[in-house]
Amino acid sequence: MARPPFMNAAGPEPAQMVRGIAEIRSAAPDFLSDLRDQYGKLLQFPIPKPLTYLVSDPAWVDYVLRTNAKNYGKATIQYRTLALVTGYGLLAADNTAWREQRRMLQPAFHHDVVAGVVQHSVAATSQVLSKLDNSVNTEIDLDHEMMQLALNVVGSALFGSDFQLRAKSVVSATLKGLDVVVSRARTPIFPPKWVPTPLNLKLQRANKTLERAVDQIVTAAEQTPQLNTISQLLVTELSAGNITRSQVRDELVTFIVAGHETVASALSWALHLLSLNQDVQHRLAAEAVEVLGQRDPEFADYAKLKYAKAVFNEAMRLYPPAWVLTRNAIAADEIDGVEIAPGSLIVISPWVVHRDKTAWPDPTKFDPDRFLTEDRIPSGAFIPFGLGNRMCIGRDFAMFEGVIALAMLARKFKFDPVNKILPLPSVTVRPKHGLLLKLSAR
């Protein structure tokens, strides 16, 4: 098959894409990595509208996401599809709307507020540790436990202590909604959301559940004000007439989705990698004992848990929760000598970027020591939270949570592999059949 005339950069021909459909559906990140190896760090897909490019060079990733970010917006099919669940909250909003939302929500992520995440992380991790006490010397799905841990942290820290009472229905609705998002993303043609197909009805039921949970959160915030929570901040803005109730819903659901599954994914893959690398696991446990003894972690301990932070970062390098990002070119530009027309779609895969051999020697090896000298990491080479002005507002929140949880888990338990774990590239990269590990007391 001839190369399409609209392609102005190296890339796969249509026949190669057709042959790769099965791999695209089951292992898209590796498929993108293979294309990068074959065609280079800037390649074009055989798609006429929009013209679509994969950018993998860390320097150009930095250019798109940071230095020339004003020219690359989020008006893409990825975020429009995600908005079916989250609405146009901070994650999916673009340009002016995003800047207004970011300004409004920033106080809820002030350093002093984020510092309180340690307390919530300790409480949530302690709950998991108590439950795991009953599973010593048995095999257990740690992915399920990390999902619950992450939900409890984001729920109590951002929405108030009574959030856990609604956690089960919120988790179920969120996951069902995201299943629909993934299904639509994998289907080239799908009916409008008002058509009563099974998937659309599933989405409607999930959104109704989320809206009921949001209504309860808002009511609780109105009746029992709790300072320094997202819900209280939004209710204050709602009362002042600065935002609508629909906007409150979108922001709260966005934080449930973004602050829950992403951190859970990172923790699960960290435990998986630790189970395969007992020396790293032992070193992590030794640091936890040295820094913490047998007491609960405190805010000041975060800076001392340097190896735990390195482990968490290295896990996100190999298994970035958000494995693909997209941007829409607003005006004409040039990337690596290739002319980029307005409206072009720029695809950036942290999975691919994090395996760049020039930035990461022996890139598939799990080596937390890479992050003990973070100043050596080129800008654009490590992007689990994005980059530039649109870097995830909850980055510090997630780091505190992940580091504290890993230290407490490794201090108490030893984790051993049971079977082969395969990645499932959904909205985030998750273990395909859960994370079954053997648990033993340390």
CB 121 within 8 A of CB 399: no
How do residues 6-28 score in pLDDT, each as one tens digit? Answer: 899 999 998 888 888 888 878 88
- In the predicted model, what is the mean pLDDT of residues 182-191? 66
Q: Any idea which of 105-114, 126-135, 181-190, 358-367 has the lowest mean pLDDT?
A: 181-190
First-to-last alpha carbon distance for the chain, in angstroms, is 59
DSSP state of 74: S
Q: How far apart are CA 109 and CA 269, in angstroms?
A: 26
Residue 226 is predicted with a pLDDT of 57
Select the more confidently predicted residue: 7 or 234: 7
Residue 166 is predicted with a pLDDT of 61
Question: In this structure, which CATH number among 2.40.110.10, 1.10.1740.10, 1.10.630.10, 3.40.50.300 belongs to the domain 14-441?
Answer: 1.10.630.10
How do residues 263-313 score in pLDDT, each as one tens digit? Answer: 999 999 999 999 999 999 999 999 999 999 999 999 999 999 999 999 999
Q: How far apart are CA 429 and CA 399, in angstroms?
A: 18
Q: Provide CB contacts within 8 A for 14, sequence distance 6+.
A: 1, 4, 46
Distance of CA 327 to the CA centre of its chain: 17
- On the 0-12 / 13-18 / 19+ scale of CB atoms within 10 A, 48 is exposed
Residue 2 is predicted with a pLDDT of 66
